[in-house]
Amino acid sequence: MAKEFKTLVYRNEEIAKDIFDLKLSVPEDFNSVAGQFVMIGVNDSSKLLKRPISICECKDGILRLVFRIAGEGTKKLSLLKAGDEVTVLGPVGNGYPFKEGEDRKVLLLGGGIGIPPILGAEKALKNSAKVTSILGYRDEMVFLNADFERESFLTSDSCGVSVEEYASLSALERKNVQIKGNAVSVAKALELANLLDFSEYDIICACGPMPMLRAVKQLAAEKGIKAYISLEERMACGIGACLGCVCKTVKKDAHTNVNNARVCKEGPVFLAEDVEI
C-alpha cells in the first residue's frame, strides 16, 4: 500500500551521462516489487508535482532509483546530495508477477532507462527461476551492466559486433561484448545463431521505450509466450485520480465500461495482450 513520507538521501551519483543512481533511506515496512514506482518530490515550491521514478531495487532499508535527466524536475533530483530531504509516495502501481516465474525460465528485456526495473526483476527471480537478460542501450554509454548476475547480452543501436561475429567468439570472450541492434532484434538474431531458444522460455518481462514494447508484444504473440510489459505515461497524481495516464485496453473496464486503464493504478505492468500499444 502506498504511503507518503519524508526521508533523506543516502547517496546520489552520476553513473553515465545524465543517468543518476539515487539511493534513499526508507522505513522497514517499505515493501516493493520490481515494476512498481514511487512519486518523489524535492522541497522546492516551484516544482509542486512529484516525479514518477521506477524502482530499481530495495534492500536493507535503502531504496534505489536510477533515472535519466529528462526535464526540470529530474534535473532537480540530479542535484540532490547525501542528507537532503525528499518526499516520497510509494510504492505505487502493480509490478511483475514473480510468482508466475517460479521454477520456470524467464526472458528479461530492458531498453534504455527501462533497464533499472529489469535489474530488480532479475534479482527477485535469481533464487527461483532460470533467467536470461538482454539489455539494450542506444549508444556505447552503458550503465548497471556490472550489476546483472545472470547470463546477459548487451546490445547497442550504434556500436558493437554483429550477431555473426558474436556467435564466433568463445563464451568467455562474449562477456560484456555489445551486439549491434536493439534488445528485441538481437533476441531474434540470437535465436538464428542458435544462442537463444524461445521455446525454452515461459515468460517475458520487459521495460523500455514504446517501440520496443510493441516489438515485444508482437514477438510474444509469434512465439506463444506470455509477456508482461511496463508502460510509461505522463503522470500527475500517481494514484489514479487525475486520469492523466490512461492507456487503451482490449477489454472494457468493468466500472467505466470503456477500453481504458490507468497506468499508475492498474499498471504500470500489464499483460501485453491486454493493452493496445
DSSP-derived secondary structure for 43-71 = S-TT--S-EEEE--EEETTEEEEEEE--S
Q: What are 197-255's pLDDT values in tens digits?
A: 999 999 999 999 999 999 999 999 999 999 999 998 777 777 777 887 888 888 887 66
Q: Which of 60, 92, 124 delimits the end of a domain?
A: 92
Strand partners of residue 3:
90
H/E stretch holding 245 = none
The tens-digit pLDDT sequence of the chain (277 residues) is: 789 999 999 999 999 999 999 999 999 889 999 999 999 998 765 556 788 999 999 999 999 999 999 988 899 999 999 999 999 999 999 999 988 878 899 999 999 999 999 999 999 998 889 999 999 998 888 999 999 987 889 999 888 899 999 999 998 888 889 999 999 999 999 999 999 999 999 999 999 999 999 999 999 999 999 999 999 877 777 777 788 788 888 888 766 778 888 888 888 999 999 999 8
Residues 87 and 52 in one domain: yes
**Same domain, residue pair 220 and 236:** no
DSSP H helices in 68-197: 72-78, 115-125, 163-168, 171-174, 183-192
**Helix 183-192 vs helix 210-223: angle between axes, to the nearest 10 degrees?**
30
- Residues spanned by the domain of 15: 3-92
Assigned domain for 100 exists: no
| Cα 259 to Cα 32, 155, 251, distances in angstroms | 28, 35, 6
CATH number of residue 55's parent domain: 2.40.30.10
Q: Which of 94, 103, 132, 96 has the alpha carbon at shortest distance from 205?
A: 96
